[in-house]
Amino acid sequence: MIVDSHCHLDHSHLYEKLDEVVNRAQSIGIKILLTISTSLKSFEIVKTITSKYENIYGTLGIHPHETKDHVNVDKKKLQELKGRNKKIIGIGETGLDYYYQNSDKLIQKKKFIEHIEAAIDLNLPIIVHSRDAEIDTFNILNDFSSKNPKILMHCFTGSSNFSKKLLDLGAYISLSGIITFKNSIELQETASLIPVDRLLIETDSPFLAPEPKRGSMNEPSFIKYTAQKLAEIKDISYDDLIVYTSNNFIKLFSIN
């Protein structure tokens, strides 16, 4: 069983031909997909998708880029939106992005904290985005360490030191097609040090298509290339890599 732990099926390039995308995913052994919310508009589509497909789950969150347009989405609002929807199994994508700074840093931090608080209260994992913001991301997560948040670092591209500090917080780390890129030597070295019982894999589709599909629109079925590369890096079989990453997802998200 393969799990794509992070994809954006609400994105128009995938959503417009979703049956085909899901069929191709299932044809390579993907049994579970987690489609990620990035805004309130995104969340409405995520709910539609998860209600249609039994094997697709979703999340609720505001991406750091979108926080400037969602200043009223606080902890209480997130809890209300989650409601009793059992197919919504995580909070995020949230976090900090200082590379583009599409939203003010202070707003990003405030919304990140509110997402963490909501995730803790709902006893759900929090899906974290961090780009050029390692220090602030860690410090904010560390402030909640006594409450044992369930942390998933999505599309990890950070430093080895950052990964060690996150692992000390009990975080799981998800790797994307970026590890297949020829210039990702440092990330590959970091991946080799992450314990297999803390690893997940993802596509982040329709973005970041792995080699040999780089340059094309990404989709969940391409996750096999990321899994193959990660198995090579960890010096284990492809099948073992799939077992580890799928079991980690099931454990983190409490999937029956």
Give the distance, in angstroms, between the CA of residue 26 and the centroid of all CA atoms in the same chain: 20
Q: Which residue carries 């961090």 as its tokens? A: 130
pLDDT in tens, 172-229: 999 999 999 999 999 999 999 999 999 999 999 999 999 999 999 999 999 999 999 9
pLDDT band, residue 38 (cuts 50/70/90)? very high
pLDDT band, residue 101 (cuts 50/70/90)? confident
* Percentage with pLDDT > 70 across the chain: 100
Angle between helices 105-122 and 75-82 (to 10 degrees): 50
| Closest among 18, 26, 23 to 224, alpha carbons compared | 26
Is residue 74 within 8 A of residue 49, CB to CB? The reply is no
> What is residue 201's three-state secondary structure?
strand
Sequence ranges of the domains in the chain: 2-247
pLDDT in tens, 146-172: 999 999 999 999 999 999 999 999 999
pLDDT in tens, 5-37: 999 999 999 999 999 999 999 999 999 999 999
Pick the CATH number of 2-247 from 3.40.50.300, 3.20.20.140, 3.30.1310.10, 2.60.40.10: 3.20.20.140
